[in-house]
Amino acid sequence: MGFWDFMTQTMGLLGRVSRVDNKERKFGSAQTYLIFKVEHDGESVDGFGVGEQEILMATDKEMQEMRERAQANPEDVAAFLNDNKARDKIGDL
């Protein structure tokens, strides 16, 4: 499973995004990352079961790509938000 498939399937809860420094930065890598904690809410993904949590990091570019994907697929966002379980967890956006 690719990174974006993984991200799409694991972003089941509204979370707080923070910025962290890249402590052991290599040439050409990002100076900072956006970091967030997610809880798996559905099928098991890459060995993580329902209710398990993990920390994910993304670059600014990767976050922009996720935003663009959500904007390009409003029907999928609406289906997610209309699901009662999701709405109960994140409220109205």
How does pLDDT run across 74-90, given as a tens digit for each residue?
888 888 777 756 555 55
Instruction: Report whether pLDDT(3) > 60.
Output: no
Residue position matching structure tokens 């996720």: 66
Task: Name the DSSP class of 64.
Answer: H
**Exposed / middle / buried, residue 46 (Cβ in 10 Å: 0-12, 13-18, 19+):** exposed
Spans of all domains in the chain: 3-22+30-90
pLDDT higher than 50, residue 32:
yes
**pLDDT for 91:** 52
Q: How many angstroms separate the CA atoms of 33 and 51, rounded?
A: 25
pLDDT score for 13? 45
Judged on CB neighbours under 10 Å (0-12, 13-18, 19+), 15 is middle
